[in-house]
Structures are given as structure tokens and as C-alpha cells.
Amino acid sequence: MKITYYIENEQDKIEYTEDYETLVKKAVEGTLEHEGFTKNCEISITFTDNENIRTLNNEFRNIDRETDVLSFPMDDEGEEVVLGDVVISLEKAKEQAEEYGHSLEREISFLCVHSCLHLLGYDHETGEEDEQVMFKKQHEILEKIGQKR
């Protein structure tokens, strides 16, 4: 399996390091491996701030508030599967890391795993059973990639 990444930083509120790229790549690879996904694929990951993610959340989900991560799955089944787009608010991730008492790196990994599962079709908002399945997978993947809580 070959993964093509498109990673961009479109914010200036949180100091950005290339370590974040390493984190999200490990999270994507861990998620795809856990799910038995073996096709060549591409994924776009954008780091943004609360203001921009709020705009996207309002535009695409009709919810006028900031959020931590948005997932935009694609349905492309060519030679290389386009999984979709992930948008992470580094500003919100930092707030949540402080609130939950863990590192920003752990929060970025969590948000990326969470979003990748959405790209693969999982949805925690469709019922309690679906939520349990998705959250169990998140926990297993985070443990596997060394990002325990």
C-alpha cells in the first residue's frame, strides 16, 4: 500500500512543527493497517485555527461553531483511492489537550485517527452501538501507535 499525503498548515496561532506531519502519518497508517485497508490511497490533512474551522463547519454542516476536526470523505475508486480531507484545528486541539490533561501530540493523533475512521465510513453519531464500535477502534489504534491516554 502506498499513501500519498497532502499536508498543509493554514494557521499561525499554534507553533507548527514537522513533528505534526509525522504524527498524522503514523495515525493514518495505524488506522488503515488496523482496518485491513491495503489499496493505494491519498489523503489531505490541513491544520487550521478555530475561526477557519468554524467557517467550514457552518458552510458544510450548517453548525455555526468551532469544532476540533472535520472529515470530508471522497468516493473515488480509481487506481488510487482518494480517502478524503481531514481538517484539524490546532487551536482547539491545544485547548482540548490541556482540558483532558494530555499532550498536544496525543490530541492530534486522536483527532486524526477519529477523522480517518470517519473517512472509512464509521460514524459515532448514528447510534450508541456505532459509537461504541468507533470509540473501541480509536482506543485500539491509539494504543498500537503509542498514544495511550
What's the CATH code of the domain at 26?
Answer: 3.40.390.30
Q: Which stretches of the chain are DSSP H helices?
A: 19-34, 50-61, 90-100, 104-119, 128-144
Question: What does DSSP assign to residue 75?
Answer: E
Q: Which amino acid is at 48?
A: T
Is 27 a domain residue? yes
Does 76 have pLDDT greater than 70?
no
What pLDDT is stored for residue 77 in this prediction? 64
Residues 28-71 have pLDDT tens digits of 999 999 999 999 999 999 999 999 999 999 999 999 999 999 99
Is 101 a domain residue? yes
Is 7 a domain residue? yes
Structural domain count, the chain: 1
Is 149 a domain residue? no
Say what the pTM is: 0.94
Q: Within a 13 Å sphere around the CA of 66, how many CA atoms are in the beta-carbon half?
A: 14
Is 133 a domain residue? yes
Dist. CA 78–CA 98, nearest whole Å: 41
Is 58 a domain residue? yes
Does 79 have pLDDT greater than 80?
no
Q: For residue 79, what is its C-alpha cell?
A: 487506481
Residues 118-148 have pLDDT tens digits of 999 998 888 899 899 999 999 999 999 999 7
Q: For residue 119, what is its C-alpha cell?
A: 473517512
What pLDDT is stored for residue 124 in this prediction? 86
Instruction: Print the domain residue range for 15.
Output: 3-144
Q: For residue 91, what is its C-alpha cell?
A: 487551536
What pLDDT is stored for residue 75 in this prediction? 67
Is 129 a domain residue? yes
Is 29 a domain residue? yes
Dist. CA 27–CA 118, nearest whole Å: 13
Residue 96: CB partners within 8 Å, gap ≥ 6?
68, 107
With beta carbons less than 8 A apart as the criterion, state whether 70 and 92 touch.
no
Cell numbers 499561525: residue: 12
